[in-house]
Amino acid sequence: MHVTFRQLRLFIALSETGSVTKAAATMHVTQPTASAQLKEVSEAVGLPLYEVISKRVHLTDAGRQLAQTARAMLAEWEGFEQHVDQVKGLSRGRLRVAAASTAKYFIPRLIGSFCRLHPAIDVSLEVLNRDGVVARLRENRDDIYIMSMPPELDLEDAVFMENPLVVIAARGAKLGSSLSLAQIKNQRFILREPGSGTRMATDRHFARRRFRPDVRLEFGSNEAIREAVAAGLGLGVISRHALQTAKDVRVLDVEGFPISSRWHVVHPKAKHLSPVAAAFRTHLLAHAGKP
């Protein structure tokens, strides 16, 4: 079976975009060239790797296995290239990071400080909701994963920063300075969507205290929650990291808050981190929380 690295990269692009045209654009080749290369890969394997349904590509079982194998092979090769660079005294390479959405308030700063130390390294950052990060983690699509509620998988897991969750209200809301849960039981709440790390931590906290919030709205972004709270639609529970520039809301002193939550940096235990990924993990653990 003869397949080139470039063909494997093209197939990975196909699996991620669901389109031959988009995969061609990702690899900077023409659509006919991409189609011909993908046909060669299928012929080399000897099995159908994908099918087109309603103009979208769907991988077969063999195609999904090939995509997973290709990612592992290319990751090993990139790790070898980086090792060779280290021996030569160089520092080029590529780093792929997937982070839960709330991490966008601090992870660019940490990536920036890392890149200043290693200017020749290219960084790809994917910011998604928790389910999206977990999906990429299961498929081993990145080097490092940042989230507040890691899934129950066999992971190498390290805590690198606190992630306090607080209750917020509109700045002009007429609420006391120190409140019990009983005093806010008639308030309506605006929370993150089910499945997000913030929502999971919030639901567990309320369940432990046998408190059932009146959930009025659920949003998939912290910005939407802040705007709804500022408009007086209810109280929100949000990461303090998401309040860096908020002016129209205030943090309430509520019994049991802030909820203790933490940011984790994880990767599969079976995964061998490349030199660049290992250096970034070390940088993260050393510099998180510093101005």
CA–CA distance, 12 with 21 (Å, rounded to integer): 13
- From residue 104, give the alpha-carbon distance in Å to each of 4, 101, 125, 138, 178: 36, 6, 10, 21, 30
pLDDT at 92: 72
Query: Which pair of structure tokens corresponds to residue 127?
Result: 């910011």
Q: Which residues contact 231 (CB under 8 A, 6 or more apart)?
A: 170
> How many C-beta atoms lie closer than 10 Å to residue 167's C-beta?
26
Say whether 91-161+263-287 and 5-64 share the same fold.
Answer: no
- Location of structure tokens 């990291």: 241
- From residue 42, give the alpha-carbon distance in Å to each of 1, 38, 47, 57, 92: 10, 6, 6, 14, 33
**Topology of the domain comprising 165-260:** D-Maltodextrin-Binding Protein; domain 2 (3.40.190)
pLDDT in tens, 214-247: 999 999 999 999 999 999 999 999 999 999 777 8
Q: Which residue has the higher pLDDT, 85 or 288?
A: 288
Question: Considering the chain, what is the average pLDDT of its residues?
Answer: 90
pLDDT in tens, 177-190: 789 999 999 999 99
Q: What's the rounded mean pLDDT across residues 134-150?
A: 94
**Topology of the domain comprising 5-64:** Arc Repressor Mutant, subunit A (1.10.10)
CA 269, 131, 260, 162 dihedral sign is positive
pLDDT at 120: 84
> Does residue 172 carry a pLDDT above 90?
no
Q: What's the rounded mean pLDDT across residues 14-26?
A: 92
> How many C-beta atoms lie closer than 10 Å to residue 277's C-beta?
24
Domain ranges of the chain: 5-64, 91-161+263-287, 165-260
pLDDT at 53: 87
> Does residue 199 carry a pLDDT above 80?
yes
pLDDT at 203: 95
> What CATH code is assigned to 91-161+263-287?
3.40.190.10
pLDDT band, very low/low/confident/very high, at 265 (cuts 50, 70, 90): very high
Residues of the chain with pLDDT > 90, as a percent, come to 72
Query: Which pair of structure tokens corresponds to residue 213?
Result: 């919030």
What are the phi and psi torsion angles at 252 (to 5°)?
-95, 145
What are the phi and psi torsion angles at 258 (to 5°)?
-70, 150
> Does residue 166 carry a pLDDT above 90?
yes
pLDDT in tens, 73-130: 888 888 787 777 765 555 678 899 999 999 999 999 999 999 998 888 889 999 999 9
pLDDT at 75: 85
pLDDT at 58: 92
> Does residue 150 carry a pLDDT above 60?
yes
Task: Name beta bridge partners: 127.
Answer: 99
